[in-house]
Structure 1
């Protein structure tokens, strides 16, 4: 009688292999990044946690014996205090104005630089230069070289055009908020221009050629082809610009020192912390700024992700 051999066992599939070696390999690849991760947590997250804790405390260094738990009182003060509420409104006006004007100017310059002409590389480099200037240096440049009522460039141009009897306005005193806006627009327009120029150069040329063959005018091509294609890039520029301009401190501090109704939320946090010494309220206002910035950054990341998906779809 012939013995029946037991059925041969199937070799273990790769999915069923022990994952210990795979996990070891993953940790071996991640181990070199752990010091950088630990350093990042120490530098960024621990100070934020400390700020979050202090924001719930009644802590004024002028009254060291009255320190205690304040609950959400500091956050209520942020939204009910007249000075802080005004600084929030100023921050919104400043951010919206700078972002919109920078986007419009950046789009106009990007459309010009998207055309081929002699010396285009040099012109692009010169247009990027304002964005590379240190913010405090840029604010000092506008304050002394351009806005100064005695020897500033703007009043010098008025004198050159209209003679010695030309008006010599004190720009910062008469239009303080617009002076801050002008200096920030000058600095952030190149940033918007770079993003929008990248969007213009990614536009499919076959669609433009087909529109030309069909007799479309340049205005129609811009309205129905270029502008819809640039929507994501306009959103990205607006979101990234808002993240940085909401936190702007240098221009306000250097040009007006927060006076004449130009104190935005970062400057008000500075005065609350270093002049009023109210650590709890300043920390609460700082947490509000961080939360708003995170919300804007979340939308920015979604826009960037959608741009990558569109590029992968075209590829």
Structure 2
């Protein structure tokens, strides 16, 4: 605030276009979503009635919401774990002097530029019950195909795998940038002290990668908790609510059941969960950066 007061007026006005766009496309729809969540609007008609907290009471009385929230956290935390572990491993490998590291980086990053919905359909044709590539291979050894996308114990893992596969390249690139910014002098000094490769990784690499770890974890958490496209392409949230996330349930409620009021309350729940989880993770990881 002190910098803003001491800055010229014309310089502060440079913020105006960004603030206007933010208010028009983010803040206003967000406030409208809060308003709609207190109504019984169907999403199409011009008339609706105020119902107070009925939509929120209905949400917490719905037994299926527990499964949906559990799936949402599974996608968020599971994808975050695997994307960071695999992304770091790829970054460590491709930070070495190997001939094919350029083409390998391109291959790992390539899925990122594909639409998540298209990526979901690509993997759907691999895992689908009849005519899927995986079942065609399995039929060489077994007599009946496996309905993997219809199995509640398996399909959530498939969804998490596809999401991890697609965005693994983002984590890899961020970790590569962090690794390449670490001065080589630290490794040379640790070698003179007799440190092993594992000791260098734990005491030099990981502490200096803390900012990259923070960025990756927060981004992956946000992306995983609001996962929609891949679920819609692979299972549409089925069977029943077995693979449903809050995002797909909100979509289904709005366009399928034409219950915009309840869908808006689900959207507000998504916002609260993502905000609490991502801000808590950011604060905790920032403190760990300072300590390291």
Specify the TM-score bucket, using the shorter chain as the normaliser.
Answer: 0.7 to 0.9
What whole-Å deviation, never above 9, does each CA across 1:73-124 have from its counterpart, x for those lacking one? 3223333311223211110112111111111111111110111111322221
Cα drift, residue 68 of structure 1:
3.1
Query: Is 2:207 the partner of 1:215?
Result: no
Cα drift, residue 302 of structure 1:
5.6
Aligned pairs (5 A) from 1:90-239: 90-144=71-125, 146-158=126-138, 163=140, 165=142, 168-174=145-151, 175-239=154-218
Compared CA separation, residues 39 and 221, structure 1 to 2 (3 A): closer
Compared CA separation, residues 166 and 217, structure 1 to 2 (3 A): farther
Match of 2:223 in 1: 244
Is the deviation greater in 225-234 or in 202-211? Answer: 225-234
Compared CA separation, residues 220 and 265, structure 1 to 2 (3 A): same
**Aligned equivalents of 1:68, 1:275: Cα separation in 2:** 20
**Aligned equivalents of 1:241, 1:180: Cα separation in 2:** 15
Cα drift, residue 307 of structure 1:
11
8 Å contact 1:172–1:256 — kept in the other structure? Answer: yes
**Aligned equivalents of 2:12, 2:43: Cα separation in 1:** 44
8 Å contact 2:76–2:222 — kept in the other structure? Answer: no
Match of 1:8 in 2: none
Query: Is 2:24 the partner of 1:42?
Result: yes
**Aligned equivalents of 1:167, 1:81: Cα separation in 2:** 37
**Aligned equivalents of 1:69, 1:233: Cα separation in 2:** 46
Cα drift, residue 292 of structure 1:
2.7
Of structures 1 and 2, the larger Rg is shown by 1
**Aligned equivalents of 1:82, 1:169: Cα separation in 2:** 29
Per the normalisation by structure 1, the TM-score is 0.78
**Aligned equivalents of 1:37, 1:63: Cα separation in 2:** 31
Query: Is 2:251 the partner of 1:270?
Result: yes
**Aligned equivalents of 1:41, 1:64: Cα separation in 2:** 24
Compared CA separation, residues 219 and 133, structure 1 to 2 (3 A): same
8 Å contact 2:77–2:224 — kept in the other structure? Answer: no
8 Å contact 1:240–1:300 — kept in the other structure? Answer: no
8 Å contact 1:239–1:299 — kept in the other structure? Answer: no
Q: CA RMSD in A?
A: 3.1
Which of 47, 54, 68 is matched with 2:36 structurally?
Answer: 54
Gaps of 5+ in 1: 1-21, 311-315
How many residues were matched structurally?
A: 284
Cα drift, residue 236 of structure 1:
2.1
Per the normalisation by structure 2, the TM-score is 0.84
**Aligned equivalents of 1:165, 1:58: Cα separation in 2:** 51
Compared CA separation, residues 127 and 31, structure 1 to 2 (3 A): same
**Aligned equivalents of 2:143, 2:38: Cα separation in 1:** 56
SS at match of 1:128: helix
**Aligned equivalents of 1:114, 1:167: Cα separation in 2:** 45
Compared CA separation, residues 297 and 27, structure 1 to 2 (3 A): farther
8 Å contact 2:178–2:212 — kept in the other structure? Answer: yes
**Aligned equivalents of 2:162, 2:219: Cα separation in 1:** 18
